[in-house]
Structure 1
Amino acid sequence: MDRLATVCIALLLASASATNVRQCKNGQPYPLGVDIEGCDQLPCNVVKGGRALMKVNFVGTRDNIKQIRAVVHATALGITVPYELPEEVADVCRNLLYGASCPIEKSEDVSYNFIFDVDSSYPEISVKVQLNLVDENDESVACFITDIKVQKA
């Protein structure tokens, strides 16, 4: 399968099952689409000790992006804190779908498979989650905000 066919399939999959997420407040690029598994409407319910699976479809913002990492901030009860991700999840290039790989070129359409683990010690509250994909120059490539509701198993 050639690269164009792969991109077309990725676009169709992303647009067919997108979750309605919000744009980040600092003008970062907005992804083409986000599909949060099992969530059509916000807030997305996630189970303590489980995981939220997200496919983030985005476009390269410049040529030759060699590294992209996921940076997460969580806001609950009016307090925003960074949420540390394991390296194997934070490394976006390692988790690209449909045969894509880094470096990413400007206007190249790719999909990132993001796995958000929900610790079993989390309180059962609503949380605003911001996911920002940043390149090796700390410039945003794509950013969105979603709401989750942590629930008992």
Structure 2
Amino acid sequence: MYKLILVAVLLTAMVLAQTPVRQCPNGAPLPATVKINDCTVSPCDLVNNAPILAHGWNIVSPVDTVSLTAYISVHLLGLEIPFPIPEELVNACENGVASGTCPVSVGQSFNYTLDHPGMEMPVVGVTVQIQVGLTAANGAAVTCVAFDGRILA
């Protein structure tokens, strides 16, 4: 009985520790678990020019691909705000995906970490919609998470 209660408490804690995300408009699959900057409520507070650390666990690839390209997209009132991803982070096979993951086969599960150094945002004090994702060599969406982020000064 006590073991059952302990398991229930641990599972609840794990679920509560996840970042509240939703599927991106492109329909890309979500990772099984997502954690972004220790955010557990929406909107996530993101400090302007501070690092963004995003983890996605158990991403199941819908396609075969020899490479994975990372991207970040930021939107405010339907308009995209420039938020270029540093060149060294674009190749997700070299920076972010567990060692030896690429090439990726359809149905293969892998983990991904985006360790973005942060950048100056042109807006502060507002909530924006952020999408973080990976695309295959042929441009197909492999995974994407969307979440609301409040940009703080």
- Which residue of the partner structure matches residue 39 of structure 1? 39
Q: Which amino acid aligns with 1:140?
A: A
Greater Rg by CA:
2
Mind listing any 5+ residue stretches in structure 2 that lack a counterpart?
1-10
The TM-score normalised by the length of structure 2 is: 0.78
Q: Distance in 2 between matches of 1:47 and 1:98?
A: 27
1:48-59 map, 5 Å:
48-57=48-57, 58-59=59-60
- Which residue of the partner structure matches residue 77 of structure 1? 77
Q: Percent identity?
A: 28
Q: Distance in 2 between matches of 1:43 and 1:89?
A: 25
- Which residue of the partner structure matches residue 110 of structure 2? 110
Q: Distance in 2 between matches of 1:42 and 1:135?
A: 29
1:97 Cα deviation after fit: 4.9
Q: CA RMSD in A?
A: 2.2
- Which residue of the partner structure matches residue 92 of structure 1? 92
- Which residue of the partner structure matches residue 130 of structure 1? 131
The TM-score normalised by the length of structure 1 is: 0.78
Q: Which amino acid aligns with 1:150?
A: I
The answer (yes or no) to whether the contact 1:28–1:143 under 8 Å persists in 2 is yes
The answer (yes or no) to whether the contact 2:66–2:102 under 8 Å persists in 1 is yes
- Which residue of the partner structure matches residue 142 of structure 1? 143
Q: Distance in 2 between matches of 1:77 and 1:117?
A: 25
Which secondary structure state, in structure 1, belongs to the residue aligned with residue 102 of structure 2? Answer: coil
Q: Distance in 2 between matches of 1:20 and 1:45?
A: 12
Which secondary structure state, in structure 2, belongs to the residue aligned with residue 53 of structure 1? Answer: strand
Mind listing any 5+ residue stretches in structure 1 that lack a counterpart?
1-11
1:99 Cα deviation after fit: 3.6
The answer (yes or no) to whether the contact 1:122–1:150 under 8 Å persists in 2 is no
The answer (yes or no) to whether the contact 1:54–1:114 under 8 Å persists in 2 is yes
The answer (yes or no) to whether the contact 1:72–1:82 under 8 Å persists in 2 is no
1:127 Cα deviation after fit: 1.2
